Structure 1
Amino acid sequence: MLREITESSWIVVVLAVVASLVIGGLLIIFADPAVAEAARYFFARPMDTFAAAWEAVSSAYTAMFRGSIWNYSGDTFVQQFRPFTETLTMATPLIFAGLGLGIGFRAGLFNIGAQGQIIMGAMLGGWVGFAWHLPVGLHLLVAVVASMLGGALWGFIPGILKAKTGAHEVIVTIMLNYVAANLLAYALSTDAFQRPGSDNPQSPVVDTTAQYPLILGESYRLHLGFLLALAAAFGVWWLMERSTWGFRFRAVGANPRAARTAGMNVSFGIIAVMTIAGGLAGLAGSAQVLGTEKALTAGIAGSFGFDAITVALLGRSRPLGTVLAGILFGAFRASGPTLQVAAQLPVDIVLILQSLIVLFIAAPPLVRFLFRLPTPTNEKVVAA
């Protein structure tokens, strides 16, 4: 099932997004008070209902566009362009974590632990950022490496348990998410992590020498982490498509028994995949603590680790697809405030759209049924 989901054709992925937007539009119509009022006299003046429905949907999706791509109502170019930079900023941790999860999916491992790996990466990188005082350049490098090592450690644990004891990676990674979250909550109550003079669970601000530089200046929050995420995507592409390790990872995912018969070390492959995936998720934590938030809080990881699962699936576990899916979900996140203010709709609409995308991505046959697409030959063979 995992292979079918991650190898779905691009047309199925695109249509899954389209179907989600259509159903989301219907939900917006049903929830809009103006549409409900016009529907009371539908048979007397039906066009009023259709006009109210169109106004509800168009205002919602226009607000999402203004909040994530281009705010044409802004007075200055900075105000107009800022939504797109916010989209890219929100997309950065999703791309990092989605790349790591994608590697695991292609290796036959369903890693649900990106949330905990992001937290551990943010904890270690943030601690280096505010507790160490190093020269410019070196400090950022050490903090980024620390974030990657924190996430890699949290990926190594389920990897070695899976390889050596057969423990299921889904269960282990889910449990480690809770361990990481509670470890962060405890750390923020200690003197080593708590901001001096404050009783709130937050760390000191990381030194400016450990912060990702802003790409477009002080007017925007977009930082160097986004370019690093693009570089990581290229690195993952090279690893999985051009390197011997990538071939072994894919072979293990396709058929572990055949890979073992061919002389491949399957246990090492599992450990390596989970460690690399954790390291990439740790970089997502660095994007948060060294770039966007600049301090550790209990919600530093948000829901990025869980959203990254959808990003990886939507991107078919391929680097380019993951980058594009990450930007799409970054747009969803960035559009939330504008959706609430301009369209007077709850931000839950965005969550519903994301959930619908997950539903359709997880059920390619459902998308093919809705749009009357032919069943691929390989599925016909399996069915036979």
Structure 2
Amino acid sequence: MKSKLKVTRSKRVKDNSENKHSHLTISLIAVAVGLLFAFLLTIATGRNPFDLLTALVRSMTGFNLQNPDSFNIMYVLNWFLNAVPIIMTGLSVAFAYRTGLFNIGGEGQIIAGSTAAAAVALLVELPPIIHPIACILAAAAAGALWGFLPGFLKAYRGINEVVICIMMNYCGMYACSWFTKVFLPIDPNTNDRTIAIMESAELKQVFSNSTSQFNWGFIVALIAVVLFWFVIEKTTFGYSLRATGFNKEAARFAGMKVERNITLSMMIAGALSGIAGALLILGIYRYGRIFTFFDNYGFDGISVALVGGSTGIGVLLAGMLFGLFKAASGNLQLFNIPKEISELIQAIIIYLVAIQYAIVLLLDKFNARKRKKKEIEEKPEGGNV
């Protein structure tokens, strides 16, 4: 009996590792095809594809291939800066997905978190180190509150969370804009933002002499990745949430509190997006915003979670990749290449990962032919062995 359990367990581990490797292979193929298509399109429009490569390499390394002696770390820091909020929203979507939910409400949760962080940063006086932490916690609470209603209605009324999340996005934008106008001090020179937040609440730049706004918010994102992995993979609480997502009735039969788990899953996902809003306010804008449109960080998080396979390290790498494309859009324009090229690359990557099952079938077919060819070559000429 024990030997059977060991065989089953080893087989399950092997299957999981194969799934991870196949998803990694698909993601790498998608990135390669996206870049190849971008180079071909650049050639088709009469531009130099080497300029596209130069813009991407410069955004990633700080070196200019056309002038190897030049180096500017600002480009690398801007890459990291662009990746931070996308990583956070990617973790938000991935957490919900791993627990059987689809969080498309990241935009509203980011706005709620941004407004809460701005309120604490403007109205509450605290010491320098404690102040940004308090702002981030307030943003997490606001994001969790914005994720509570979709989770609650899904758990206790069976209402699709996608519909509620989309509605909550717009409710968040208009409600938070009203709150900002009524309760927070507005900058009289613009009337479309608050005054600057207190200096004690700011997330300081890592390199004060740099022109980049890269700040300590990147550490918050890395901590979030580690906590995501630990909670989902290494705790009984995470196992309970994942079990609920896999099969609600089986989880209920095992004694798990299904409704509570669904609600908590959406609240935790909302908290992660809310923190992304705080990092934007405290580290980049440094003032409260009156929102009239979405920044699309929440929707970018869906793409990052998809490409990253909804794992902690996968979301981190996918977030860095998409952050690179966002940072490179400015460099592309310097070489007279439309910035939409970077968006096109992202779209192709997302599309290819979305149809991953078709790619898996093609890979399986290719591997089957390869194995068959190998068997024929190894087969003796005399016939059967």
Structure 2 matches for 1:294-313, cutoff 5 A? 294-297=286-289, 298=291, 302-313=295-306
The reply to whether residue 337 of structure 1 matches residue 330 of structure 2 is yes
The reply to whether residue 80 of structure 1 matches residue 72 of structure 2 is yes
Evaluate the alpha carbon distance shift between residue 214 and residue 300 of structure 1 in structure 2; reply closer, same or farther with a 3 A threshold. Answer: farther
CA displacement, residues 260-285 of structure 1 (integer Å, 9 cap, x when unaligned): 22111111111111011110111100
In structure 2, runs of 5+ residues without a counterpart are: 1-18, 368-385
Kept in 2: contact 1:109–1:169 (CA 8 A) = yes
Q: After the TM superposition, which of the residue ranges 291-300 and 240-249 deviates more from structure 2?
A: 291-300
| Aligned residue identity for 1:24 | A
Evaluate the alpha carbon distance shift between residue 272 and residue 187 of structure 1 in structure 2; reply closer, same or farther with a 3 A threshold. Answer: same
| Aligned residue identity for 1:29 | I
Provide the rounded CA distance (Å) in 1 between the counterparts of 2:332 and 2:125. Answer: 41
Evaluate the alpha carbon distance shift between residue 121 and residue 272 of structure 1 in structure 2; reply closer, same or farther with a 3 A threshold. Answer: same
Provide the rounded CA distance (Å) in 1 between the counterparts of 2:131 and 2:66. Answer: 37
| Aligned residue identity for 2:314 | G
1:274 pairs with one of 266, 274, 283: 266
SS for the counterpart of 1:360 is helix
1:236 pairs with one of 228, 235, 243: 228
Counterpart in the other structure of 1:365: 357
Counterpart in the other structure of 1:209: 200
Counterpart in the other structure of 1:374: 364
The reply to whether residue 137 of structure 1 matches residue 151 of structure 2 is no
Evaluate the alpha carbon distance shift between residue 200 and residue 75 of structure 1 in structure 2; reply closer, same or farther with a 3 A threshold. Answer: farther
Counterpart in the other structure of 1:40: none
Evaluate the alpha carbon distance shift between residue 79 and residue 207 of structure 1 in structure 2; reply closer, same or farther with a 3 A threshold. Answer: farther
Provide the rounded CA distance (Å) in 2 between the counterparts of 1:79 and 1:310. Answer: 31
Kept in 1: contact 2:186–2:195 (CA 8 A) = yes
Q: Kindly state the Cα deviation for residue 76 of structure 1 after the two structures are TM-superposed.
A: 12
Q: After the TM superposition, which of the residue ranges 288-297 and 315-324 deviates more from structure 2?
A: 288-297
1:181 pairs with one of 173, 185, 200: 173
Provide the rounded CA distance (Å) in 2 between the counterparts of 1:289 and 1:280. Answer: 15
2:55 pairs with one of 36, 58, 63: 63
Q: Kindly state the Cα deviation for residue 218 of structure 1 after the two structures are TM-superposed.
A: 3.7
2:41 pairs with one of 9, 27, 30: 27
Evaluate the alpha carbon distance shift between residue 127 and residue 301 of structure 1 in structure 2; reply closer, same or farther with a 3 A threshold. Answer: farther
Evaluate the alpha carbon distance shift between residue 375 and residue 201 of structure 1 in structure 2; reply closer, same or farther with a 3 A threshold. Answer: farther
Q: Kindly state the Cα deviation for residue 326 of structure 1 after the two structures are TM-superposed.
A: 0.7
Provide the rounded CA distance (Å) in 2 between the counterparts of 1:76 and 1:295. Answer: 38
Greater Rg, structure 1 or structure 2?
A: 2
Kept in 1: contact 2:52–2:337 (CA 8 A) = yes
CA displacement, residues 303-343 of structure 1 (integer Å, 9 cap, x when unaligned): 1111011111111111111111111111111111111122x
SS for the counterpart of 1:108 is coil
Kept in 2: contact 1:67–1:336 (CA 8 A) = no
CA displacement, residues 132-189 of structure 1 (integer Å, 9 cap, x when unaligned): 222222211211111111111111111111111111011111111111122233344x
Q: Kindly state the Cα deviation for residue 300 of structure 1 after the two structures are TM-superposed.
A: 8.7
Kept in 1: contact 2:54–2:66 (CA 8 A) = no
Q: Kindly state the Cα deviation for residue 82 of structure 1 after the two structures are TM-superposed.
A: 1.2
SS for the counterpart of 1:296 is strand
Provide the rounded CA distance (Å) in 1 between the counterparts of 2:324 and 2:121. Answer: 29
Provide the rounded CA distance (Å) in 2 between the counterparts of 1:376 and 1:108. Answer: 32
Q: Kindly state the Cα deviation for residue 72 of structure 1 after the two structures are TM-superposed.
A: 2.7
Kept in 2: contact 1:17–1:357 (CA 8 A) = yes
Q: Could you state the TM-score of these two structures normalised by the residue count of structure 1?
A: 0.84
Counterpart in the other structure of 1:351: 343
CA displacement, residues 81-139 of structure 1 (integer Å, 9 cap, x when unaligned): 11111111111111111112111111110110111111100010011112222222221
The reply to whether residue 192 of structure 1 matches residue 206 of structure 2 is no
Counterpart in the other structure of 1:10: 24
Evaluate the alpha carbon distance shift between residue 70 and residue 275 of structure 1 in structure 2; reply closer, same or farther with a 3 A threshold. Answer: same
Counterpart in the other structure of 2:8: none
Kept in 2: contact 1:68–1:332 (CA 8 A) = no
Provide the rounded CA distance (Å) in 1 between the counterparts of 2:330 and 2:281. Answer: 22
Evaluate the alpha carbon distance shift between residue 73 and residue 374 of structure 1 in structure 2; reply closer, same or farther with a 3 A threshold. Answer: closer
Identity %: 32
Q: Size of the alignment, in residue pairs?
A: 347
| Aligned residue identity for 1:13 | S
1:100 pairs with one of 84, 92, 105: 92
Q: Kindly state the Cα deviation for residue 299 of structure 1 after the two structures are TM-superposed.
A: 6.8
Kept in 2: contact 1:20–1:356 (CA 8 A) = yes
Aligned-residue RMSD, C-alpha:
2.5
Counterpart in the other structure of 1:322: 315
Q: Could you state the TM-score of these two structures normalised by the residue count of structure 2?
A: 0.84
Q: Kindly state the Cα deviation for residue 194 of structure 1 after the two structures are TM-superposed.
A: 5.0
In structure 1, runs of 5+ residues without a counterpart are: 1-5, 35-54, 378-384
Q: Kindly state the Cα deviation for residue 362 of structure 1 after the two structures are TM-superposed.
A: 0.9
CA displacement, residues 55-85 of structure 1 (integer Å, 9 cap, x when unaligned): 6222123212213432337999996111111
Provide the rounded CA distance (Å) in 2 between the counterparts of 1:126 and 1:302. Answer: 17
Kept in 2: contact 1:92–1:229 (CA 8 A) = yes
Provide the rounded CA distance (Å) in 1 between the counterparts of 2:348 and 2:257. Answer: 39
